[in-house]
Structure 1
């Protein structure tokens, strides 16, 4: 048994960390902790699925509101821009104001923005609503994860909770495809937004009744220069990669924003070493396990779009699946990911640690991507599509559940919000980069295949299959890089779980 202050655990030195407060009671056990997990899970599912549920509704929304193909991407981009650029600020606001208050405000704002979008009568109104969804989602997501972190401090219960939460975060995109297909096909595209009101009301009622304030006594002050630098920097990065999906990489709006965003993030990192009250204290990211977890979320976020995005195209455009059938086709992946997440955090990580688990997940995900490159116009779901998606689900469960747990383990109460925000930021920025890169590579592959060929329907279909295979190969490359990175960075052996005993932080390992 090793007695170590939490912040010292993070950096090897530094002031003694306060134990988590507000949500931990009776030896770290909240009396309604499993109901709280249900509330947090509903809120997280709402935020994650909203990144994909609207994709299915876009053609219907476009026909209804009459906007052009060129403007269509802004329905997705507006959400990603606001969400990705404001996450770190949202996490720090949760530390400053109180996690319960920020959680409830985020829910209320997200619901209101969803109602606005569902009632949209113009393209501009819908874009504004999506941007507001992203902004309130940036408040909600880190507050939810930090509430989970401070509610579950018992190592065994924390493992179960993070297994479930990791599964929700990972499968939300697939659930969004299924739910979006059902709502669009049987009701109306507007219900892809209105459905959030149901999630939000249930979570708000539960949160108001069950949650405690969750505001640490030693509240940090807001780092205004750091906030401006990282918010604008992340905005530029997400915008640059989003712009690359529809414009050339040589377009000034692509490389210019990427260059500006990179420069601002470098200045932000420098400022964090000198700021009296840094927005993202280096003790949060310099711990090996925590830093490896953030990188794992970033890489997995980039790579998994090879499944959700291009396999969706394949099922609908090549195999001619309906939106609902496409969503159903992802259910085996969802089931495997949930089972893998829960088994990993409860059995594997406590025994072996993250070092063998996350790299194994990366290898399985990479293998699944390579397997998918064999798909062609004659492939069938049961024999050719489902087997690699089952492997993918197992691999993603190993990655997400473990990385989310270790990314927030042993964190000081006054850093819980910003540490949680880094998890979401890593996944969101990774997803934006992965989507842009894979779209560009796939489009180029299709164009190269068509050179010198008669553009018959069969040739066009084969060009599409070639583009999907290219995306799968590059996704496999992302996961292969993730294997190397996580194998090198994660500490060997079981993690040093945090328990709160009296006024000291105790690590058992």
Structure 2
């Protein structure tokens, strides 16, 4: 069978991308039920969720190198097996420890093994316009899984049990193994003796420390900053060690010369920025819908559905647009559209906000995201030699995972900062003589404890002082989130302008989608 003419390999690896990303979002709406079912605490469940991302991010570079030693398909299937075992243990969990082993450790390791292999398998299986389309669909699947995660989690938790979420993932893994022969075998390019053990230890320890610092950002900013700085220092040592290995004619875990490629470097950062934007903004909007508007997990997912559908449609259209323009132009237009979408959403968050108030902004935002995320991987790998694609895909997926981790942590801090500013503005506007600045700063934590127990549903049409204060807090918090998101997306636009891409003409229409 000519795999380049079949879409079945794409379907298999896209399913893997889908469940890996779904895993990082769908359980957020099930925390309270997990606490009851496993007889544990909210803080324990939150740590379990965080460690899934931590495990996945820290092993990306190592798993990318293992593709060269073991083979792309083999490492993908090993990852799928570990992931499936983890899903089974998680579904049968009787306590928090079982869930941690199944979900955070085994599924995290399996996800780390599969994710870079997805990009490598697609790049090795397809060529030309098919490669561009396949990478676009795979990238879009990641964004869609993140967007529908709350809806999926809400459905299984409300109507069945959170355990069925892991059962669903296990069924996908079984499907992958049943048809795994559809994925072609790729030759190995290195031996076991070529594995850089010291580089692997430095990469894992540096990424673990850095990512853990990100994930603790909302709880202790000082410790978080220290961890991120230490993580960066370890990663600098890793980079210096890898450079020395290359000079000594040894095979490094990461060929640092890859970062000299403008497209790969910009593409990795663009991937990080887009996932930060998606993860952070969806987290903030979901918090607003559930905490302020008091929507359930299922209704929250339905509210975000316009963004998901439009993102999918424009992800499919993006490769077609590339035949009229070039990748750089389409991605630039995508970033501009996303910024417009964020601006449309900026002033739509109040106690009286309805579904139709959010739809225009969500649709525009989703359209822009679809154009950006679908083409980012292809252009990043454009100038990378075949033998280095495995390592390059590891860099891209590491950026993707870091972006997702950073999104929820950073946006969570921005929500708190915006809420503090909103509380101060509200008191200055509506109760300037009742509370002084000194009293506000001394008692701000008390105000937020009280705010957390306000029934916003009853306040919506009361037009009372309390309603005005709460409304101002909500508005300012969400405005700050959307403004920072717009700035982050603008940085993504600037990075896109640095990409190298051919101008389109009739003779090179196909060459540009290499």
TM-score tier by shorter-chain length is 0.7 to 0.9
- Name the counterpart of 1:478: 488
1:170 paired residue among 126, 138, 143: 143
CA distance in 1, matches of 2:494, 2:378: 20
1:148 paired residue among 111, 122, 127: 122
Distance change in 2, residues 1:277/1:366 (3 Å): same
Distance change in 2, residues 1:82/1:368 (3 Å): same
Q: CA deviation at 1:86?
A: 0.5
1:422 paired residue among 395, 398, 406: 395
- Name the counterpart of 1:463: 473
> Unpaired segments of 5 or more residues in structure 2?
432-446, 455-466
> Unpaired segments of 5 or more residues in structure 1?
1-24, 500-505
1:300 paired residue among 258, 274, 288: 274
CA distance in 2, matches of 1:461, 1:193: 38
- Name the counterpart of 1:290: 264
Q: CA deviation at 1:219?
A: 6.0
Contact 2:284 2:411 in 1 (8 A): no
CA distance in 2, matches of 1:460, 1:197: 44
- Name the counterpart of 2:233: 263
Q: CA deviation at 1:66?
A: 2.9
- Per-residue displacement from partner, 1:157-208 (whole Å, max 9, x unpaired)? 112212211210221111222211110110012222222111111112111x
Contact 1:409 1:497 in 2 (8 A): no
Distance change in 2, residues 1:508/1:463 (3 Å): closer
2:412 paired residue among 439, 456, 463: 439
CA distance in 1, matches of 2:125, 2:328: 26
Contact 2:4 2:126 in 1 (8 A): no
Matched residues, number: 469
Does structure 1 residue 408 correspond to structure 2 residue 381? yes
- Per-residue displacement from partner, 1:237-274 (whole Å, max 9, x unpaired)? 11001111222x123xx122111111111122222322
Does structure 1 residue 313 correspond to structure 2 residue 287? yes
Higher relative contact order (CA 8 A, sep 6+): 1
CA distance in 1, matches of 2:331, 2:256: 23
CA distance in 2, matches of 1:497, 1:290: 22
- Name the counterpart of 2:303: 329
Contact 2:91 2:166 in 1 (8 A): yes
Contact 1:289 1:490 in 2 (8 A): yes
Distance change in 2, residues 1:377/1:507 (3 Å): closer
Distance change in 2, residues 1:218/1:351 (3 Å): farther
CA distance in 1, matches of 2:509, 2:62: 26
- Per-residue displacement from partner, 1:57-90 (whole Å, max 9, x unpaired)? 1121012223223323212111011001101111
TM-score (norm 1): 0.86
- Name the counterpart of 1:236: 209
- Name the counterpart of 1:64: 37
Alignment of structure 1 residues 5-16 onto 2, 5 Å: none
Contact 1:118 1:193 in 2 (8 A): yes
TM-score (norm 2): 0.85
Q: State which structure, 1 or 2, has the greater radius of gyration over its C-alpha atoms.
A: 2
CA distance in 2, matches of 1:339, 1:171: 11
1:226 paired residue among 178, 181, 199: 199
CA distance in 2, matches of 1:137, 1:125: 18
Contact 2:423 2:472 in 1 (8 A): no
- Name the counterpart of 2:185: 213
Distance change in 2, residues 1:53/1:507 (3 Å): closer
- Name the counterpart of 1:103: 76
Q: CA deviation at 1:51?
A: 0.8
Q: CA deviation at 1:217?
A: 4.7
Contact 1:337 1:395 in 2 (8 A): yes
